Structures are given as C-alpha cells and as structure tokens.
Amino acid sequence: SLLQLKLWNKYRVSNIPSLIFIDASSGKVVCRNGLLVIRDDPEELAHIFAEGGSKPKPFSEVVAGPLLRNNGQTLDSSALESSHVGVYFSAHWCPPCRSLTRVLVESYRKIKEAGQKFEILFVSADRDVQEGDEETRLRTGSRWVMAASAFTRKVQKGNQSSVTGIPTLIVLDPKGEVITRQGRVEVLNDVECREFPWHPKPVLELTDSNAVQLNEGPCLVLFVDSEDDGESEAAKQLIQPIAEKIIAKYKAKEEEAPLLFFVAGEDDMTDSLRDYTNLPEAAPLLTILDMSARAKYVMDVEEITPEIVEAFVSDFLADKLKPEPI
C-alpha cells in the first residue's frame, strides 16, 4: 500500500525484521534497534522512553575501558583520542569481509605513511571470537585495535550506528562524530586514499562498488550519455545545489536526507540496472529508484534543467508522484 511505501522510505528500512520505536507526537525515532534492545536488555526501553529517545552516546563513552592490539597488548581507549577512527565490523567466515580486509590493510598503511592519525577498531562478529581474532592477526599484523563482539550490541543499543550487516566500516572524526557510514564503498573507490577521511559527497557517480547504496532507500539517478565528454560532470554540477539544499534541510532537523543522489553513465553495470528496473534507453533520463519498495518514478524529457529536477524532487517528497512497479 501507499502507507507501507511511505513508512519504508521515511525510516530507511533496508532489512526485515525491523522494529523501530517512534514518538507519535513528533514522528522522531526513539529507538531504531528495538529488536536488539528487547532481546538483550528489555529494561533499557523504559529508560529510552523516559529520556525522550535513544540519544547516541559519545564514542569515548561507548568504547571506554581497555582495548587490545592484535599482538595481545592492552591499551586504554583514550589512545584513540585525537585520531580518526575506522570502526570495522567484520568476521573471518564472511568472504566479502576477507576481501575488504585485504584492501583495508593497504589503505591503513598508506594513510599512516602519509602522516595521518588513523586507527582501526576491529569489532568481531565471529561466533568464535578467539578464532576470528587469530584470523585478523594473521591478516593485519599487530596494527589494529580489537574489541569484543559485545561492542557491536553496545553500539547498536545506543542507536549510534545502525549496523545491519557486515562488512561495515564507519569512519569517525577525532571528536567521535560520524563522517561516513559508507567506509566500505570509500575504501574500494579510493584505493590511494587521496580523499581520506572520505567526507560524503552530495552527488555520486554510480559505480560497481557504490551501487550497493541503491538498496538503502530512495535514490535519484540521472542517467546521461557518458560518451559525450564532460556530460557526467555537468550532470553532477546540475544536481549538486539541489542535493546540498535537501541534505542541509534534513540535517538541521537531525534527520537523514530522504534521498541519495547519483549520476549514471553508460557501462555494463548501468545497463544491468536499466534492465532490472525496466527503464527506457533514453539519455538524459531522470529517475527516482526505490529498490526496497520495488518502485520507480521516471521523468523522460529532452532537456534536464535545475528547475525540472527541483520540481521532480519536491513532488516526490510531497507524495505527489505515482510510483511504477519495478
């Protein structure tokens, strides 16, 4: 139904089952990880509602206490202060995790050699934590900092990261504020780490590695003819002011932006996306794709202008557009 579609979009539900508690008067999220809280600490719910919501705890408070280097040496969590931190949720039994770990080891080395302050806090999701720790030691040497798998639950119950799958890399600034939850994508897209610490861009060029973000909620995708030199860059410049305005508006309300913004050229991955969503071959083609709801919104016009994009986005956010099935 239309109501179900609105709820999936508003609360960015990407997997089921999900249980999200909200304040009925304001619509704000009280607790995003309700299933985890009920399972591990049901009494915590009373405190969450009494405080008016599950406010993210400072990173220093979440990790307070002793941590381990991969070589078995202990260190206090205060050693992470003044550094960027990559919180890496992973497991040795997960093939995508093993692949990302190999890339991340090299990224870590390059960032440290460039003189940047950066630490990786490895959070094991292994059923056998000792076995997982040993695997990580073999792959990373003694450089990374280790945390117990209970840390995962501690972060999630604090409504801080909403980790729903692995591998996940969340990059924090020296104050413990989240820079990006898409560290996995950034590491794969920027193997030389030139753009570290990977502050989010308002508009992304769709690639094989970041296409996974299409599953996270509604995405505006502008398809262009990439054989035309400069077409992709011009499309990004056209969309960027609109994307920045939307992001700023929702950031002021302490909410995530309801849309991600992409420009897609012509390659095998884009062709597959068009086929999967049954889109015409036209370029330029302005779309909003909502994979989780299996819905699409299409505007096929000869010329895409800022006014057309802004009106398209406004109508979508105001629920004035009729979805087509994917």
Per-domain residue ranges of the chain: 2-55, 60-189, 204-325
Domain 60-189 architecture:
3-Layer(aba) Sandwich (3.40)
Predicted local confidence at residue 196, as pLDDT: 97
Which residues contact residue 228 at a Cβ distance below 8 angstroms, ignoring those fewer than 6 apart? none
Closest CA to 285 of 303, 268, 269: 303
Tokens representing residue 189 in the block: 């897209």
The candidate with the shortest Cα–Cα distance to 170, out of 157, 155, 181, is 181
Type of residue at 67: L
List of residues 6+ apart from 44 with CB closer than 8 A: 37, 157
Lowest mean pLDDT among 3-7, 112-116, 251-255, 266-270: 3-7
Tell which wins on pLDDT, 132 or 326.
Answer: 326
Contact present, 123 and 90 (Cβ < 8 Å): yes
Q: Which residues contact 297 (CB under 8 A, 6 or more apart)?
A: 287, 288, 312, 316, 321, 322, 323, 324
- pLDDT tens string 128-183: 555 555 555 555 555 677 765 445 455 545 444 556 678 889 999 999 888 998 89
Question: What residues does 297 pair with on adjacent strands?
Answer: 288
How many whole angstroms from its chain centre is CA 281?
Answer: 29
Is 58's pLDDT higher than 90? no
Tokens of 299: 């505007």
**CATH number, domain 204-325:** 3.40.30.10
Q: What percent of the chain has pLDDT over 90?
A: 39
pLDDT digits (tens, 9 = 90+) for 239-289: 999 999 999 998 888 778 899 999 999 889 999 999 999 999 888 999 999
Instruction: Give the model's pLDDT for residue 149.
Output: 44
CB 79 within 8 A of CB 65: no
d(CA 100, CA 107): 10
Q: What is the 3-state secondary structure (H, E, C) of 25-76?
A: CCCCEEECCHHHHHHHCCCHHHHHHHCCCCCCCCHHHHCCCEEEECCCCEEE
C-alpha 259/C-alpha 217 separation (Å) is: 7
What would you measure as the largest C-alpha separation in the chain, in angstroms? 63
Residue 53 dihedral angles phi and psi, to the nearest 5°: 140, 160
